[in-house]
Structure 1
Amino acid sequence: MTKIKICGLTRLCDIEAVNEALPDFAGFVFAESRRRIAPENALALRKVLNDGIKAVGVFVDARIEEILGICSQGIIDVIQLHGQENQDYINKLRDITGKPIIKAVRVRSGEDIKAAGGFSCHYLLLDAYSQKAQGGTGETFDWNLAAQVNKPFFLAGGLKRDNIIEAIETLAPFGVDISSGVESNKVKDREKILEIVDLIRR
């Protein structure tokens, strides 16, 4: 069954909503973003997150020491890299933390996906390319390019109620990563979270 990740959680009510919906992963963004959360706030939210939901930390070209500090506090179970991190960087994180690593790919062409396939990460995350954004764009990309993927991947970028089933049936991703698609007025919407998780699970 396709795994579900709800990303960009910042408030207690967001955690209450995912605890009710029970996706597989919950994402905390530690990079520059309107969804950025301070480690101390993420720790407080993690303490009330359902134990069955894995917490993912999203970073963009962060110092390894920053990621290790967050890992050492027990805030996250999975590391997601959304910048220009190279193989040496990934290897060091894997060796030190032992945590699963997701490497995001901003897709412009199949070559972008092929190049990322050589990374020693556990999963790729395919997202739309934008010159303005290193993180999520809220836009889709040409899903046909995903035929180039050679390892388990999360699909991201513009996923919402109206296209999520088509995306899953077309690409059979390991997981889907949803953020803006479960927001209203740029904050997480409980009803949208419950609806999309139920839709995928059914």
Structure 2
Amino acid sequence: MTKIKICGLSRECDIDFVNRAKPDYAGFVVNFPKSRRNVSPDTVKKLAARLAPGIAPVGVFVDERPELIAELADSGAIAAAQLHGSEDEEYIRKLRALCSIPVIQAFRIKEARDAERAARSSADYVLLDGGQGEGRRFDWKFAENFPRPYFIAGGLDAENTADVIEALHPFAVDMSSGVETDGFKDRKKIEAAVAAVRRFS
């Protein structure tokens, strides 16, 4: 039963879209101005408060201060933290000392040793991606027989999600650009993506 995360939500209407489609996770890129999907901590709190019950808010961070992540966790704004920068094992230990939410560590997969490094992470889950939110697909052969539950991202949409689920059976699929039109979240694409995943549930 693969789960689905819709990432990069930044507008109130985005929340309305996911509330209607009901994915398992909703992702927010926090304090990372290089991303066009960036939102402030205060905006995360407001948007997450609009989520329907059963949709877990995930904060996506790039080398952020652990104290800010813990503050958002303590406020209830996020239910998990996804790390997309150069965070190491010491960072994860420090974060866990400050809050108890699950940690998802993202890895860019270009060769077999990248997947091997991801498998050794102490995070609760790892995310295997082709880039850093650019919708770049990696060679799925590096995820074959992966030894632990993982999220997979990179170029996924409603059309190819069945292929990745059938081939790899990941814990969750993660989509952002694949459910957008002209750089903005698209309600119909979100609903189609969630429906495609639910056919396997």
Q: Shorter chain as normaliser: what TM range?
A: over 0.9
Q: Match of 1:35?
A: 37
With 41-50 and 179-188 compared, the bigger mean Cα shift is at 41-50
Q: Is the 8 A contact 2:110 2:130 kept in 1?
A: yes
Determine what percentage of the aligned residue pairs are the same residue: 48
Q: Is the 8 A contact 2:66 2:98 kept in 1?
A: no
Q: Match of 2:106?
A: 104
**Moved segments of 4+, more than 6 Å:** none
Q: CA deviation at 1:116?
A: 2.1
Q: Match of 1:70?
A: 72
Secondary structure of residue in 1 paired with 2:122: coil
Q: Match of 1:19?
A: 19
The Cα offsets for residues 123-179 of structure 1, whole Å up to 9 and x where unpaired, read as 1100004xxxxx212111100011262211001000012211001111100000000
Q: CA deviation at 1:119?
A: 1.6
Counterpart-to-counterpart distance in 2, 1:80 and 1:58: 5
Counterpart-to-counterpart distance in 2, 1:81 and 1:66: 13
The TM-score with structure 2 as length reference comes to 0.94
Amino acid at match of 1:74: G
Amino acid at match of 2:194: V
Structure 2: segments with no counterpart, 5+ residues: none
Q: Is the 8 A contact 2:83 2:103 kept in 1?
A: yes
Amino acid at match of 1:75: A
Q: Is the 8 A contact 1:15 1:49 kept in 2?
A: yes
The Cα offsets for residues 80-124 of structure 1, whole Å up to 9 and x where unpaired, read as 000111101111212321110100000111101111222211111
Counterpart-to-counterpart distance in 1, 2:111 and 2:81: 25
Give the alignment of 1:156-175 within 5 angstroms: 156-175=153-172
The TM-score with structure 1 as length reference comes to 0.94
Amino acid at match of 2:62: V
Give the alignment of 1:32-181 within 5 angstroms: 32=33, 33-129=35-131, 135-147=132-144, 149-181=146-178
State the Cα RMSD in Å. Answer: 1.1
Secondary structure of residue in 1 paired with 2:63: coil
The count of corresponding residues between Structure 1 and Structure 2 is: 197
Counterpart-to-counterpart distance in 2, 1:34 and 1:184: 14
